[in-house]
Amino acid sequence: MHFDRLHIAAAAIGFFLASSVAAHAQSAPALDGKAIAFDRGKGNCLSCHDIKGGDLPGTIGPQLNDMKARFPDRNELIAIVTDETKRNPQTVMPPFGRNLILNEKEISAIVDFLYQL
């Protein structure tokens, strides 16, 4: 009998742990592109761009609005954030991907956010 209780207890603990991990995986938020874009130590898009919802925007770069209409090819916008110098060698925009300031997932999250503007 003692073995049966131990076996049942172990199974219950295993089920609880598996359920907790699954629940956490489902509730774990995707990377927040807005938070990255507005983070002064990461994307820092606000230092140069006026973005709806952002405080103290810069005016060096263009206003970031209607992005999906302006860049219907998502890959074009990803390429701009990754390394705008390939398209425009005279740009002042940092090559966020090339310089490893942002990784691919972060750039994708920012583009997701920009597509909502």
Is 80 exceeded by the pLDDT of residue 86?
yes
Predicted local confidence at residue 5, as pLDDT: 54
Give residue-wise pLDDT tens across range 89-103. Answer: 999 999 999 999 999
How distant is the alpha carbon of residue 111 from its chain centre? 8
Give residue-wise pLDDT tens across range 25-50. Answer: 333 345 799 999 999 888 899 999 99
- CB within 8 A of 36, min separation 6: which ones? 42, 43, 102, 106, 109, 110, 113
Predicted local confidence at residue 43, as pLDDT: 87
Give residue-wise pLDDT tens across range 101-114. Answer: 999 999 999 999 99
Where are the chain's structural domains?
1-30, 31-115
Predicted local confidence at residue 9, as pLDDT: 46
CATH for 31-115 is: 1.10.760.10
Task: Write the CA distances from 53 to 35, 37, 44, 111, 113, integer angstroms.
Answer: 11, 11, 14, 16, 12
Predicted local confidence at residue 25, as pLDDT: 38
